[in-house]
Amino acid sequence: MMDDTNVRSDAAQKKKVVDLIKRKQQLRYEEEQEIIKREILVFCQDCNEWRLETLVEIQGIEEDFDGRDKLSFMCDRCGKFQQSFRVLK
């Protein structure tokens, strides 16, 4: 009886640990996604500075002849319509 209880609690303990690891991995994945998003910059010609893609209001995206992503957006600083390539910080 004693052994049986131990086995069951071990199994429960293991499941808890597995769940914890999964949650941590999920969190890390979400954090990484957030970092990736944060590090993409677009250029505002009116402000003459780089803005974070996550902060601007995205209107659309298209590819140029070289296959580079060209983003249409409203600048979060000046509120004007802009077009810019997406650049990794």
**Residues forming the site for Zn ion (CB under 5 A):** 44, 46-47, 75, 77-78
Please report how close the Cβ of residue 27 comes to Zn ion at its closest, in angstroms: 33
d(Cα 23, Cα 16) in Å, to the nearest integer?
Answer: 10
Please report how close the Cβ of residue 47 comes to Zn ion at its closest, in angstroms: 3
Closer of 33 and 45 to Zn ion (Cβ):
45
Closer of 31 and 50 to Zn ion (Cβ):
50
Please report how close the Cβ of residue 74 comes to Zn ion at its closest, in angstroms: 9
The answer to whether 46 touches 75, Cβ cutoff 8 Å, is: yes
What pairs with residue 49 in β-bridges?
A: 44
The two three-digit tokens of residue 76, written as one number: 């979060």
Closer of 15 and 77 to Zn ion (Cβ):
77
d(Cα 50, Cα 53) in Å, to the nearest integer?
Answer: 9
